[in-house]
Amino acid sequence: MVALSLIKHHVMKKTIIAILVLLSAMGASAQSLLWDSAEPVKTVTVGARLGWNFASMAGKGSSYYDGRKGVALGAAVDVNLIKSFSINTGLYFTMKGASMNDVEAQVGDMLGMKAKATWAVNFLELPVYASYHLIFTPDSDLQIFFGPYFSYGVYGKYGMKMRDMEGYAKEKVKLFSKSQGYHRWQSGIGLGASYTFDHHYVVGLQYQWGIRDVAELMDNQWNLFQLSIGYNF
């Protein structure tokens, strides 16, 4: 009986040790998955991105504005500080804007003509996002990023198309001329996520909230929802 008791005690002791070792390994694995402070494989990751934009006008009277669809194209740069953290930046050409139906306009002596107003603006954009990497395998990870972006307007036009006068289009106005008061320099906050798989291929989404007003006399901002695909070199 004593021998049997000793055997049971020995087996139980080994079992407890094995469980503790297993739990420790699982904890280390989970910690490595959630936060890996090891040196990154590459200090800088460069890639190409193509996005589909769904832009909108936020702020005062935003419910009266419709959105504008467009594209974004550019180069993405990740400055990898550790495996689980990087600074996400790059340079992009991105399209924003909005439209509004049933705007009252004047054509000659005729007042109250119904028109559709359209704002079309294109920017060069520089994001500076803090990016957290959730690493699943050496070839795949999930990035969650947040931070400011800064953009410079390279093109901007405002135009109106008359509903009641087919074929008549009011002359378009250049938005970034000094007389119009539209702000060429813009800034805002972005929040998004992307998934990299097979080491090179990327799919992502993000939302941007504009901070600076569209123009001096407008209490509105450019907002944007974007879906994107990409390739890392």
pLDDT band at 173 (very low <50, low <70, confident <90, very high): confident
| Whether the predicted model's global pTM rises above the 0.85 cut | no
The reported pLDDT for the residue numbered 146 is: 98
The more confidently predicted of residues 47 and 103 is 47
CA 210, 213, 214, 215: dihedral to nearest 10 degrees?
-170
110 pLDDT band (50/70/90 cuts)?
low
Over residues 67-99, the pLDDT tens digits come to: 999 999 999 999 999 999 999 999 999 999 999
- Mean pLDDT value of segment 183-207: 97
